[in-house]
A = this chain, B = another copy of it.
Amino acid sequence: MGYSVGQAARFAGITVRSLHHYDAIGLLRPSERSAAGYRRYSDPDLDRLQQVLFYRELGFSLEEIAVILDDPGVDPVTHLRRQHELLRRRIGRLEAMAAAVERAMEARKMGISLTPQERFEVFGDVDPEQYAEEAEERWGGSDAFEQSRRRTARYTKDDWRAVTAEAGEVLEAFAAAFAEGAPADGERAMGVAERHRAHITRWFYDCTYEIHKGLGEMYVADPRFAANYERVAEGLSRYVRDAIHANAAPHA
A40 CB to nearest chain B CB (Å): 11
Interface string of A79-123 (1 = CB under 8 A from B): 011011001101100110110011011001000000111011001
| Between-chain CB contacts (< 8 Å), 10 pairs | A1-B166, A6-B158, A10-B154, A13-B123, A49-B116, A77-B108, A83-B101, A84-B105, A91-B94, A91-B95
Q: Is A172 an interface residue (CB 8 A)?
A: no
Find the residue from A3, A11, A125 having the highest chain B CB count within 10 A.
Answer: A11
User: Using a CB-CB cutoff of 8 Å, which residues 1-52 of chain A contact chain B?
Assistant: 1, 3-4, 6-7, 10-13, 43, 46-47, 49-50
Contact between chains at B119 and A50 (CB < 8 Å): yes
Contact between chains at B94 and A87 (CB < 8 Å): yes
Contact between chains at B57 and A123 (CB < 8 Å): yes
**Residues of B with C-beta under 8 A to A81:** 105
Measured in the bound complex, the distance between the Cα atoms of B84 and A108 in whole Å is 15
Measured in the bound complex, the distance between the Cα atoms of B2 and A36 in whole Å is 64
Q: Is A72 an interface residue (CB 8 A)?
A: no
The interface residues of chain A, by DSSP majority, are classed as helix
Q: Is A232 an interface residue (CB 8 A)?
A: no
Q: Is A162 an interface residue (CB 8 A)?
A: yes
Smallest CB gap from A124: residue in B: B13
Interface string of A107-145 (1 = CB under 8 A from B): 010000001110110011100000000000000000000
Contact between chains at B123 and A105 (CB < 8 Å): no
Q: Is A159 an interface residue (CB 8 A)?
A: yes
Given A10-B154, A46-B116, A90-B94, A53:B123 Cβ within 8 A: yes
A141 CB to nearest chain B CB (Å): 26
Q: Is A181 an interface residue (CB 8 A)?
A: no
Measured in the bound complex, the distance between the Cα atoms of B175 and A59 in whole Å is 49
A17 CB to nearest chain B CB (Å): 17
Q: Is A54 an interface residue (CB 8 A)?
A: yes
A20 CB to nearest chain B CB (Å): 17
Contact between chains at A120 and B3 (CB < 8 Å): no
Smallest CB gap from A82: residue in B: B101
Contact between chains at B4 and A158 (CB < 8 Å): yes
Q: Is A164 an interface residue (CB 8 A)?
A: no
Contact between chains at B6 and A156 (CB < 8 Å): yes
**Residues of B with C-beta under 8 A to A73:** none
